[in-house]
Amino acid sequence: MGKRGPAPTPTEILRLHGSRLVEQRTGEPQPPAGSPPCPEWMNATARLIWDQVIENLASMGVLKKTDGNAIARYCMLFVEWCDCSHFIQEKGYSREIVTEKGGVYDQQYPEVNIRNRLNTDLLRLEQQFGLTPAARASIQVEPSREKKQVRTRSRA
């Protein structure tokens, strides 16, 4: 039987939130900061999403080299979500089915359920990386030293 309850919030995210729980966390592995390499197996569309996500996470200061698999999963799920959304835009949510006895009913396309499941999966990953407004609301990131130095120079 697995562990109960939600997964613990990473210490780095807690630190950005200003949480007191950071002091209680000792011995947690600290992966190196930086951008993970883009997997070669991803298609061109997923690579475009990869570039956007990597840029956003790097600018937020939460990107680690070990995040590559989770980001790749997010990118692939996002491509699938886009495919389902395009299908629904073209064909609609359902189609008319005529039974052998002449009855007619609407049957929902499988892409609708797939897109709904992907919405949930994508939201979970976005929240883990701080990519939603609600997830960012409590994150406090200190301005980098470079930005502080630029401000100081421009005033002089």
State how far the Cα of 118 lies from the Cα of 120, in Å rounded to an integer: 5
Contact 84, 55 (CB under 8 A): no
> Strand (E) positions, 48-134?
94-98, 104-108
State how far the Cα of 69 lies from the Cα of 27, in Å rounded to an integer: 23
Residue ranges per domain, the chain? 11-21+30-140
State how far the Cα of 131 lies from the Cα of 53, in Å rounded to an integer: 9
pTM of whole model > 0.75?
no
Termini Cα distance of the chain: 63
Reading the block at residue 141, the tokens are 């990131």
| Amino acid code (one letter) for 82 | C
State how far the Cα of 13 lies from the Cα of 44, in Å rounded to an integer: 30
One pLDDT digit (tens) per residue for the chain, 156 residues:
566 777 777 777 777 788 888 888 777 777 888 999 999 999 999 999 999 999 999 988 888 999 999 999 999 999 999 999 999 999 999 999 999 999 999 999 999 999 999 999 999 999 888 888 877 775 666 555 444 444 444 443
